[in-house]
Amino acid sequence: MKNIVPHHFSISKEQRTQQKGHGAFLIWFTGLSGSGKSTIANAVEEALFKKNIHTYTLDGDNVRKGLNNNLSFSPEDRTENIRRIAEVSNLMIDAGLVVLAAFVSPYAKDRANIKNCVGHTNFVQVFVQTPVEECERRDVKGLYAKARAGEITNFTGVNAPYEAPVAPDVQINTIETTVEEAVVIIMNCIAKRLGRESGIGNRESN
């Protein structure tokens, strides 16, 4: 960009990672509203926190109310929503955190852009694959009922599309898999990425 000259800061991502003692990357949860993204992300963050891993969770509540409070659910704004979240995730990875992000993110193209933004090796995609009928039965936030009544347009699964990931790193069917089992599956998937090269934070805190 014109007239933007990067300053070379002396502390690198590698040094920050070294100090924290574990790898930094993004775990991206995608799936329908009510599929279980936030529930599973929360349980994974608890498991990581117990291992003294430095984490942060981004979700609709803390992003749509602040940074992205000027965006709607139109296709263009959904894309911009995801672009900003990817950029924020990238900064947090640079800061040395394991970032968990739980967003419907219905478009394959947007999810591919996240992967490009943070780098392929820093991206773990978890598809929380719960059939729409089950999400609607749960209707955690009462949004399916509103969408069916025509009070919400652009509601994914009802009157807006969801493009299922073709080759996610992890796929969880929440009818067959409990939250606890999902945590074990995801922790196994990220074990290598967590590393623990310096050994710092290897102890459980309880």
Which residues are known catalytic residues?
Answer: 105
User: How far, CA to CA in Å, does 122 sit from each of 25, 61, 109, 194?
Assistant: 4, 24, 18, 11
Of the pair 42, 52, the CB lying nearest ligand ADP is at 42
CB of 10 to ligand ADP, least distance (A): 40
Residue 38 as a binder of ligand ADP (CB under 6 A): the answer is yes
Q: CA 65 to CA 192: how far, in whole Å?
A: 34
- Which candidate, 151, 79, 149, places its Cα nearest to that of 109? 79
β-sheet bridge partners, residue 29:
102, 126
Binding of ligand ADP by 113 (CB under 6 A) = no
Work out whether 145 is an interface residue with ligand ADP (CB under 6 A): no
The H or E element spanning position 126 is strand 123-128
Minimum CB separation of residue 63 from ligand ADP in Å reads: 13
Residue 126 contacts residue 170 (beta carbons within 8 Å)? yes
Q: How many residues bind ligand ADP (CB under 6 A)?
A: 18
Q: Which of 125, 174, 183, 190 binds ligand ADP (CB under 6 A)?
A: 174
* CB of residue 173 to ligand ADP, shortest distance in Å: 8
Q: Which stretch binds ligand ADP (CB under 6 A): 18-26, 150-158, 176-184, 195-203?
A: 176-184
3-state DSSP call for residue 128? strand
Is residue 17 within the footprint of ligand ADP (CB under 6 A)? no
DSSP-derived secondary structure for 155-191:
-BTTTB-----SS-SEEE-TTTS-HHHHHHHHHHHHH
Q: Which of 18, 39, 79, 154 binds ligand ADP (CB under 6 A)?
A: 39
Element spanning 137, H or E: helix 132-138
Binding to ligand ADP, residues 41-100 (CB under 6 A): none
Identify which range of 34-42, 73-81, 88-96, 154-162 contacts ligand ADP by CB under 6 A: 34-42
* CA-CA-CA-CA torsion sign (38, 43, 48, 52): positive
Which residue's beta carbon is nearest to the bound ligand ADP?
36
| Shortest distance, position 103 Cβ to ligand ADP, whole Å | 9
Q: Which residues bind ligand ADP (CB under 6 A)?
A: 31, 33-40, 102, 128, 138, 140, 174, 177-179, 182
